[in-house]
Amino acid sequence: MRIAVLALQGAFLEHEKMLRELGVDCFEVRQLQDWQQKKDGLIIPGGESTTQGKLLRDLGLLAPVREAVESGLPVFGTCAGLILLAHDVEGNSPSAPVPPRLGTMAMTAARNAYGRQLGSFHTEAFFKGAKCNVPMTFIRAPYIMKTAGNVEVLASVDSRIVAARQGNQLVTAFHPELDADTHVHEYFLKMIKNR
């Protein structure tokens, strides 16, 4: 198994480290040429979704990545990655043009909706994908305001959805790559194996 990790900006190194700990091979996607390699899944890391969206567009990656996800390539988006996958986003600056994104998952993400300070916290909550509690680190986090279609809610914190899955797409508003617990990554690897 070989996983592509989008490495344009943000916390991609931590995902790579976790994958290696789990014995899984990965490679960084920094340009279109990297994307051509054979891959079994894609991780879109946390960071800054506006920056990542613009880079995806400017590097010519937006359309091919969207096409791959729509054709069933398993994808795991954390935090900014969740925003990039969301079909709709609330909380973008009303005066700026709407930042480019993949928009493949049937949900509305609320961006920076906790407020600057409250968006960063650590907790533990039930993750349905592993049937146990997992640590959750939130950093200026989004949450999922609304889901549609066959989106399955996998975790909520204070009645806000913070993890969900729709077919081949998995998202978390928190950063499992920043904690030692590997349950969420293992769940993603299972999604790939069961494909």
- Give contact residues for ligand GLN (rule: CB under 6 A): 46-49, 79-80, 83, 111-112, 139-140
137, 11, 132, 147: which is closest to 76 by C-alpha? 11
| Choice between 48 and 88, CB closer to ligand GLN | 48
The annotation status of 119 as a binding-site residue, yes or no, is no
| Choice between 80 and 161, CB closer to ligand GLN | 80
Taking the C-alpha atoms of residue 105 and residue 69, their distance in angstroms, rounded to an integer, is: 10
Taking the C-alpha atoms of residue 156 and residue 121, their distance in angstroms, rounded to an integer, is: 14
Of the residues 15, 16, 26, 79, which is catalytic? 79
| Choice between 12 and 187, CB closer to ligand GLN | 12
Task: Report in angstroms the alpha-carbon separations of 19 from 30, 69, 130, 175, 182.
Answer: 18, 20, 17, 14, 9
Decide if 185 is catalytic. Answer: no
The annotation status of 47 as a binding-site residue, yes or no, is yes
User: Which residues fall in the annotated binding site for L-glutamine?
Assistant: 47-49, 111, 139-140
Catalytic residues: 79, 175, 177
